[in-house]
Chains A and B, each alone.
Chain A
């Protein structure tokens, strides 16, 4: 009971700060949108909308299979945002590893474990109200931080064009130790996953 009261008080405070400080900061930004609408900007908004709407699908879908397919949309949208941020190598990695590997793995796990047939029971959720409160408070706090912080931004600084080449260089030079540790982690994962998931052989 006390916890609930405390939660409500905290959330009310966060809302109050959000309305007082963040919304006035956003208003002039919204009105000065006269120099707008290059096609690339519209593309950004479309991609952001794709990833956020699909993220909502992951969070709120009734069926776990719909959640997995929404995750596909989110990962695609984020990969496209990486291209938008001129990080082509990361985008390709996202495409290959997440969509080609992790998502297929998740779909396999869904098929192997859930009864897809009874649609309303595959993806139960508990504590919806505290979850919504928590995530709304998170967005409010993070939005406050994002809009209020004095970020050091150099948008027209020279970008590195050959990201794949540079990433290969720094992997084998400055980041050699983390690179090798990551390969060891992947090896341990390979062995560990096989050992955990196999059937035990009883004598």
Chain B
């Protein structure tokens, strides 16, 4: 065990990114996929803040960017869950393999 440096935080971000990708790829439940997307966005945030901490700029660039990411993630979650609810109301399921009405 040694003092955490930049690489430690980046490794944490990479592992979370991989878990998020796994979630997005394997889930068929739309809400589950959304959770994976949140994981991916959070791992990117860890990287931004860590880069800022270990190479700071007077404008706080990394932190400001991560705040924008948080804002957009909130907006994305709201719209995506609204779409999920709309799909559930029309087809009674949120399995993404079943939601292929537009194909026909």
Chain A interface residues (CB < 8 Å from chain B): 29, 32-33, 35-38, 41-42, 44-45, 48, 51-52, 55-56, 58-59, 64, 67-68, 71, 74-75, 78, 81-82, 84-87, 89-90, 93-94, 97-98, 101-102, 105-106, 108-110, 112-114, 122-128, 130-132, 134-136, 138-139, 142-143, 146-147, 151-155, 157-160, 163, 166-167, 170-171, 174-175, 178, 182, 185-186, 189-190, 192-194, 196-197, 199
Count B interface residues, CB 8 Å: 72
Contact check, B56 vs A157: say whether CB atoms are below 8 A apart: yes
Sample (8) of A-B pairs whose CB atoms are under 8 Å apart: A33-B2, A45-B1, A55-B15, A71-B38, A90-B45, A90-B67, A105-B77, A170-B64
Which chain B residues have a beta carbon within 8 Å of chain A's beta carbons? 1-12, 14-23, 25-29, 31-32, 34-36, 38-39, 42, 45-46, 49-50, 52-56, 58-60, 63-64, 66-68, 70-75, 77-79, 81-86, 88-89, 94-95, 97
A80 CB to closest chain B CB (Å) equals 11
